[in-house]
Chain A
Amino acid sequence: MVTFAFLDWFWLILFLILMVGCGVLFYRLGKRSESDFFLAGRGLPWWLPASSVYATHTATDTPMWVTGVIYRYGLTGLWYTFFSAWCAISAFVSTRIFRRSVAYTQAEWNTIRFGGLGAEMLRGWIAGWQVFMNMFILGWVGIAMGKICYLAFGWPTWIGLVSFSSICAIYVLAAGYWGVVMADFQQGIIAFSVIIIVSIWGVIAAGGPDGIVTKLAGMGESWRLDPFAFSGWFEGDFPAIWFVTMLVIAILGGFGMGTSIDWYPEAQRIQSNKTVRDASYSIWWGALLVIARNSIWAIAILGFYVLFPNIEQTSEYELGWFRIGFEYLPTGMVGFFFAAILAIHLSTISTHLNLGAVYATRDLYKHYFKPGASEKEVIWFGRIATLVLLLGSFFYGLMMEEITSWLIFALWLMAAGIWLPNILQVVWWRFNAWGYLSSWIANLGLSWLVVWILPEFDILPKLLDYQQFWLLMVLGAMVYIPVTLLTKPENMDHLVKYYVMSRPIGWWGPVKKEAERRGLLSQIAGLKQGEQE
């Protein structure tokens, strides 16, 4: 149990005043327009959304699972955390294309890329699913905070869940995305500083860098320092083929939109940048900070392993980084550490409150129920949606123990069968709304069959994660490719409009040719002619 001294309380209260102050300070900007409440007026320099990308992807449960994989696999476990690498290619491909589309959300982008009834169905589905997902993530992250407060102070879990999410809601309700991004900037700095301080403290406690290397060698565990210490090509609990699969998913996923669950909050950050260039850099540098952070954490966890090498229970060693902070930092710094945990927590909560609200407001309320709504009405609905998400997250958080495994399964399903369609929708002109919609439906059915039902009846052996991924990808393609080719292409007028606006990468030959024929790309043709002359 942690006891706070005066200085600890000072840090904590100062931090909370700073965060809520953001709401008060940016209240006027947030209520100016819909674009301000949800995208900060699309006027931010790259470093602000970059800090938000970083802060958002440092959630309360992140140190737990990073600790879990590093404690178990040593530095090879870093590859589990490398999923943020989708930003490597995305920053210069899908980010650029998405920013040019000026869509507020991924759901809205569907009506720009596709047309007709199929596009409307996709927009409604993705918007509804995102409202649910954001509420779920809020509950998941919220209850993680409840558990940390129980660990640190012995509070009942609901107190940690309800109190801090409610404080966060103050500045999100008041200033919308302006409050989110400005608070994220401060939270990002605080969280990164504390991660470095606590990690250095952990390394020192374990005997310093040399001490860790020497002690691991003495324990016969030097393989933990090797980032490529796989259990074999195909065998063991971390085979090289799993590493290759993760690299493919992460890196090539950057050509698409929605290949990672993180795409959805990033899409909002992409649109809030003032230029296409700013959007690219915000995604690239934000993800780089995430990757560097994981490496810094990893070394602290190696130190924790040297100090406590024989912990068997996952739930126990997953708390390693928190233990370093609470047990090794001096009095007066523990409050600073807790403020950093709160920073980590609030940045995720604020993001998902505002993100869920933009889908509920822009894609459901304004699009389907009240297309003529004034800016003032839209902002007020955004606030009501924020409040509903907050209350819903309490409900999810408190019942999370029962549903977590189901929902993690749902997330995994999404990653597997929808991965390739998420790329095809960006790079292949012929891929249409019906193909994309059928991939969602097929994936839902196939993944239940492959992961649970067929193994249960011994029709299919229980497959490893990477085997499931490749199999679901092939089976899904056998549905959505025929559906795409057997249904009509999207309307050429619609495609030309999208092409001229977004200039997508990949196989867009017929659309480009049509745009040139209509003289919409004549500027380029004229320039090329000029160059030749």
Chain B
Amino acid sequence: MSFIKRKWSAAEADEWTKEDWLTIVISPLAYILIMIGVALSFLLLWTGFIILALGIVATVVMHWIIDPKLKAISDEYETKQKEYILELERSVRWEEENG
């Protein structure tokens, strides 16, 4: 079994796992690298191009890790959403609920 899980059942994807935590760490890092990288690359500084490249790699890796899980969550959730919306419309009407 690989370190990063790539095949998820809907029920497994509902749990918070190491793939989520890796994404939580990589995502802000990607933002920081891209912010600095874009600025310095615009000045044609070689450090900027390297930092920007690292930011892009971080972004790709992050998506590679989290995308299969997000797909599994979405596929399962869409089947329940209609029911939840109907339930929401009923439950938030405090006048009916409280008589």
Q: Could you tell me which A residues sit within 8 Å of B by CB distance?
A: 42, 75, 78, 82, 85, 88-89, 91-93, 96, 100, 102-103, 108, 111-112, 120, 199, 203, 209-210, 212-213, 225, 227, 251, 254, 274-278, 280, 284, 287-288, 291-292, 294-296, 298-299, 302, 367, 371, 501, 503, 505, 521, 523-524, 527
Q: In the assembled complex, which residues on chain A have CB atoms less than 8 Å from the CB atom of B93?
A: 367, 371
Q: In the assembled complex, which residues on chain A have CB atoms less than 8 Å from the CB atom of B74?
A: 275-278
Known: A213-B43, A277-B70, A523-B10. 11 other contacts (CB 8 A): A75-B39, A85-B32, A251-B28, A275-B74, A275-B77, A284-B27, A291-B31, A292-B35, A367-B92, A524-B14, A527-B9
Q: In the assembled complex, which residues on chain A have CB atoms less than 8 Å from the CB atom of B12?
A: 524, 527
Q: What residue of chain B has the Cβ atom nearest to residue A90's Cβ?
A: B27
Report if A102-B14 is in contact (Cβ < 8 Å); known contacts: A78-B39, A82-B35, A88-B27.
no
Are B35 and A294 in contact, CB atoms less than 8 angstroms apart?
A: yes
Q: In the assembled complex, which residues on chain B have CB atoms less than 8 Å from the CB atom of A505?
A: 16, 20
Q: In the assembled complex, which residues on chain B have CB atoms less than 8 Å from the CB atom of A111?
A: 91-92, 94
- The smallest beta-carbon distance between B62 and chain A, in angstroms, is 9
- The smallest beta-carbon distance between A192 and chain B, in angstroms, is 13
Q: In the assembled complex, which residues on chain B have CB atoms less than 8 Å from the CB atom of A275?
A: 74, 77-78
Cα A299 to Cα B66 with chains together (Å): 33
Q: What residue of chain A has the Cβ atom nearest to residue B38's Cβ?
A: A295
Cα A294 to Cα B42 with chains together (Å): 12
Residue total for B at the interface (Cβ-Cβ under 8 A): 45
Report if A88-B92 is in contact (Cβ < 8 Å); known contacts: A210-B44, A299-B42.
no
Cα A42 to Cα B78 with chains together (Å): 11
Q: In the assembled complex, which residues on chain A have CB atoms less than 8 Å from the CB atom of B32?
A: 82, 85
- The smallest beta-carbon distance between A253 and chain B, in angstroms, is 11
Verify if B36 is at the interface (C-beta below 8 Å from A): yes
Cα A103 to Cα B31 with chains together (Å): 28
Q: In the assembled complex, which residues on chain B have CB atoms less than 8 Å from the CB atom of A225?
A: 40, 43, 45
Among A82, A209, A503, contact of B14 (Cβ-Cβ < 8 Å): A503
Q: In the assembled complex, which residues on chain A have CB atoms less than 8 Å from the CB atom of B94?
A: 111, 120, 367, 371
- The smallest beta-carbon distance between B23 and chain A, in angstroms, is 5
Are B39 and A295 in contact, CB atoms less than 8 angstroms apart?
A: yes
